């Protein structure tokens, strides 16, 4: 585009003309009290980074940026944004969204070897939204909302339609302040096919007030973040209490990003790591807009001898918290503290193992699950889900949500749940059968998991034939089935004391915790890849040719039969053989035939 700078003289002349009027206005007392003393900041930003070594030796880095805005977004006319991104704010006020959770994930969190995740997300894209009860047409709002989000995050969320949207009744409760829990206002969809890459990260980073220019966001370098075993970025928007009395509502936007680095491959076989090794950057300053900017390093160890690992530089403080039923110790680096940058200008957190740890501490988490598809041939199959409860003495219930696309026709009568060889009857079942090309199957169950047990859930299905235009461009790759969702209140092994949730790092404040004796966990299983009977795609033309040929042959003989004239053949002089015979007879002098 070519920009033409306008005739400035004219602007200036008009500016004076307007100035006269505005001056007059000020004398009259400008409406709204322009230039009055501004109140306390109505929005705040907190940034956190949690580095935790995983039992398998990998390292997980979790970023969280929390923007809080003391404003009623749904009130008419709020349109002046500071730290809260304008694009998302407009979206919430236009579509009357109560809560919005979007995650884009590449890879799969291996709960067995990596332990309980702080916030897991299913592979691909996941979106769930609670609308306000004043929304009349939820489906329309959901459709438009997902289209706009698709534009904002450059993701294929526009493929969300009625065939992959469900309304769970029990699995997804509002995480924020809500007085309405009518599940008809909830929509949930997963796109397991979605591939997450740089083009999704860039718009996500653009929503941060400091962009990626300052603070912890400096570390978010796409080429390192996507060179990992697991990458999950998410946006959570919810209303929260403004203060303890909870008389008014604030809006909270959490942008989280979790990556798991494979330390063996990046560290040449050593388990030592540093910020620079992982991100190829170091931290030099906090985001000047943030009211809190901290790096936590998980230095807790299962054994009593605490001196296994060493963190440099030495942390200014140590924070102890009980997270997910475990006592954890964190080394805390407060980037806003002036002491931190006194010694060196940049912070490069390093962790060294004092002696090589041969026996990896692979304690399995209390709750984990796995899922697979079995069977042979292209007609029927079976989905099996295994749920493990490794708690030594406590049983607890779990809510299982299965969303299966309509082209796998589930037979509910084949649903079998067995624990320790005995049938396990679910205490709650909500099943919504699929409608072809309209909606998927939805199966929600509340299952009691006995202590130290494996529960196997199997259900059989039949594969449907699709219309030839309904196949994806690469149909032989298979069709994805979105992961099942497990939500549970897991009893903790240790007794926890109720703490101030706001103080503890990261996600403990996102999920509501009932009391000190249990904690909330949401797990996702693997997505499934199922082959459907795939036709040869030149088939339509072949069919046309074949039918036309058959029709033409039938028609041809019919036509011949009807239009041909039949008449009696005159006895002719005979064929070639007869004539030849006659010639021979003539020669021989015998009378001809």
Report 149-178 residues binding other proteins (CB under 8 A). Answer: 151-152
Q: What mask of x and - would describe binding to other proteins in positions 52 to 81, judged by CB under 8 A?
A: ---------------------------xxx
Contacts of 233 (CB under 8 A, 6+ apart): 103, 104, 105, 196, 200, 201, 204, 255, 256, 257, 258
Q: How far is the CB of 23 from other proteins (least distance, A)?
A: 8
Q: What mask of x and - would describe binding to other proteins in positions 205 to 224, judged by CB under 8 A?
A: -x--xxx-xx----------
Closer of 43 and 402 to other proteins (Cβ): 43
Site for other proteins in 90-119 (CB under 8 A): 90-91, 94
Window of 171-179, 325-333, 485-493, 554-562 that interacts with other proteins by CB under 8 A: 554-562
Whole-Å CA distances, 310 to 319, 347, 380: 16, 16, 55
327 binds other proteins (CB under 8 A): no
* Residue 530 near residue 478 (C-beta atoms within 8 A): yes
Contacts of 559 (CB under 8 A, 6+ apart): none
* Long-range CB contact pairs, 332-339, < 8 A, 24+: 332/294, 332/295, 332/296, 333/294, 333/295, 333/296, 333/297, 334/293, 334/294, 335/215, 335/216, 335/283, 335/285, 335/286, 335/293, 335/294, 335/295, 336/286, 336/290, 336/292, 336/293
Residue from the set 565, 587, 588, 593 that interacts with other proteins by CB under 8 A: 565
* Residue 93 near residue 78 (C-beta atoms within 8 A): yes
36 binds other proteins (CB under 8 A): yes
39 binds other proteins (CB under 8 A): no
* Residue 50 near residue 296 (C-beta atoms within 8 A): yes
Residue from the set 195, 316, 494, 551 that interacts with other proteins by CB under 8 A: 551
Closer of 44 and 517 to other proteins (Cβ): 44
563 binds other proteins (CB under 8 A): yes
Q: How far is the CB of 57 from other proteins (least distance, A)?
A: 37
Give the residue carrying structure tokens 């004076």. 16
Q: How far is the CB of 15 from other proteins (least distance, A)?
A: 4
Count of residues that interact with other proteins, criterion CB under 8 A: 72
571 binds other proteins (CB under 8 A): no
Whole-Å CA distances, 537 to 477, 533, 547: 15, 12, 17
For residue 174, cis peptide bond before it (omega within 30 degrees of 0): no
Site for other proteins in 366-395 (CB under 8 A): none
26 binds other proteins (CB under 8 A): yes
Closer of 206 and 585 to other proteins (Cβ): 206
Window of 410-418, 440-448, 530-538, 540-548 that interacts with other proteins by CB under 8 A: 540-548
Q: Would you list the DSSP string of 533-546?
A: ----TTHHHHHHHH
Q: How far is the CB of 550 from other proteins (least distance, A)?
A: 10
* 506 Rama class: left (phi>0) / alpha (psi -120 to 50) / beta: left
Q: Which two tokens stand for residue 212?
A: 């990626």
521 binds other proteins (CB under 8 A): no
Residue from the set 247, 552, 576, 587 that interacts with other proteins by CB under 8 A: 552
Window of 27-35, 114-122, 174-182, 467-475 that interacts with other proteins by CB under 8 A: 27-35
Distance from C-alpha of 177 to C-alpha of 314, rounded to nearest angstrom: 39
Distance from C-alpha of 445 to C-alpha of 397, rounded to nearest angstrom: 10
Q: How far is the CB of 93 from other proteins (least distance, A)?
A: 9
Q: Which residues pair with 319 in a beta bridge?
A: 330
22 binds other proteins (CB under 8 A): yes
Closer of 501 and 546 to other proteins (Cβ): 546
Window of 53-61, 285-293, 458-466, 518-526 that interacts with other proteins by CB under 8 A: 285-293
**Enclosing H/E stretch for 453:** strand 453-463
134 binds other proteins (CB under 8 A): no
Contacts of 69 (CB under 8 A, 6+ apart): 42, 43, 83, 84, 89, 250, 251, 252, 253
363 binds other proteins (CB under 8 A): no
Closer of 179 and 560 to other proteins (Cβ): 560
Contacts of 550 (CB under 8 A, 6+ apart): none
Window of 13-21, 185-193, 416-424, 482-490 that interacts with other proteins by CB under 8 A: 13-21
Residue from the set 105, 289, 414, 536 that interacts with other proteins by CB under 8 A: 289
Q: How far is the CB of 363 from other proteins (least distance, A)?
A: 44
17 binds other proteins (CB under 8 A): yes
Q: How far is the CB of 164 from other proteins (least distance, A)?
A: 22
Radius of gyration in angstroms for the set of CA atoms belonging to the chain, rounded to a whole number: 35
Q: How far is the CB of 219 from other proteins (least distance, A)?
A: 16
């Amino acid at each position: 585009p070519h920009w033409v700078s306008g005739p400035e003289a004219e602007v200036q002349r008009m500016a004076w003309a307007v100035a006269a009027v505005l001056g007059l206005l000020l004398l009259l007392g400008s409406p709204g009290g322009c230039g009055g003393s501004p109140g306390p900041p109505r929005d705040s930003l907190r940034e956190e980074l949690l580095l935790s070594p995983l039992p398998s030796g990998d390292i997980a880095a979790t970023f969280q940026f929390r923007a809080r805005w003391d404003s009623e977004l749904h009130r008419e006319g709020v349109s002046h944004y500071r730290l809260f991104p304008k694009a998302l704010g407009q979206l919430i006020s236009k579509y009357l969204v109560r809560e919005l959770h979007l995650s884009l994930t590449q890879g799969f969190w291996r709960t067995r070897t990596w332990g309980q995740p702080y916030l897991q997300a299913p592979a691909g894209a996941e979106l769930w939204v609670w609308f306000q009860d004043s929304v009349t047409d939820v489906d329309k709002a959901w459709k438009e909302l997902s289209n706009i989000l698709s534009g904002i995050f450059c993701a294929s969320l526009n493929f969300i339609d009625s065939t992959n949207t469900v309304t769970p009744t029990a699995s997804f409760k509002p995480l924020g302040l809500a007085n309405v829990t009518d599940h008809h206002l909830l929509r949930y969809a997963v796109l397991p096919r979605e591939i997450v890459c740089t083009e999704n990260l860039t718009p996500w980073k653009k929503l941060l007030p400091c962009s990626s220019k300052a603070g912890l966001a400096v570390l978010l370098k796409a080429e390192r973040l996507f060179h990992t075993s697991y990458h999950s970025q998410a946006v959570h928007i919810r209303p929260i209490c403004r203060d303890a009395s909870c008389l008014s509502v604030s809006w909270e936007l959490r942008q989280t990003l979790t990556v798991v680095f494979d330390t063996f491959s990046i560290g040449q076989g050593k388990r030592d790591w540093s910020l620079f090794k992982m991100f190829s950057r170091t931290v030099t300053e906090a985001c000047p807009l943030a009211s809190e900017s901290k790096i936590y390093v998980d230095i807790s160890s299962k054994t009593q001898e605490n001196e296994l690992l060493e963190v440099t530089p030495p942390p200014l403080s140590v924070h102890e918290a009980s997270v997910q039923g475990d006592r954890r110790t964190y080394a805390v680096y407060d980037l806003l503290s002036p002491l931190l940058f006194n010694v060196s200008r940049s912070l490069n957190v390093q962790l060294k193992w004092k002696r090589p740890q041969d026996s990896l501490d692979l304690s399995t988490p209390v709750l984990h699950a796995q899922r697979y598809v079995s069977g042979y041939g292209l007609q029927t199959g079976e989905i099996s889900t295994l749920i493990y409860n490794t708690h030594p003495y406590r049983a607890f219930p779990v809510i299982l949500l299965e969303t299966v696309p309509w082209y796998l026709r589930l037979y509910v009568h084949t649903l079998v749940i067995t624990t320790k060889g005995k049938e396990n009857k679910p205490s709650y079942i909500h099943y919504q059968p699929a409608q072809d090309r309209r909606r998927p199957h939805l199966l929600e169950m509340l299952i009691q998991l006995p202590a130290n047990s494996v529960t196997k859930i199997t259900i059989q299905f039949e594969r449907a034939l699709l219309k030839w235009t309904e196949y994806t461009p690469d149909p032989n790759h298979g069709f994805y089935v979105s992961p099942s969702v497990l939500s549970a209140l897991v009893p903790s092994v240790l007794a926890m004391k109720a703490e101030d949730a706001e103080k503890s790092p990261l996600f403990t404040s996102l999920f509501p915790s009932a009391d000190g004796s249990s904690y909330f966990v949401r797990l996702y299983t693997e997505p499934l890849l199922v082959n459907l009977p795939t036709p040869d795609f030149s088939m339509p033309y072949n069919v046309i040719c074949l039918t036309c040929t058959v029709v033409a042959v039938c028609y041809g003989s019919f036509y011949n039969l009807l239009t041909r004239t039949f008449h009696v053949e005159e006895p002719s002089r005979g064929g070639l053989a007869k004539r030849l015979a006659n010639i021979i007879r003539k020669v021989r002098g015998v009378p001809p035939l």
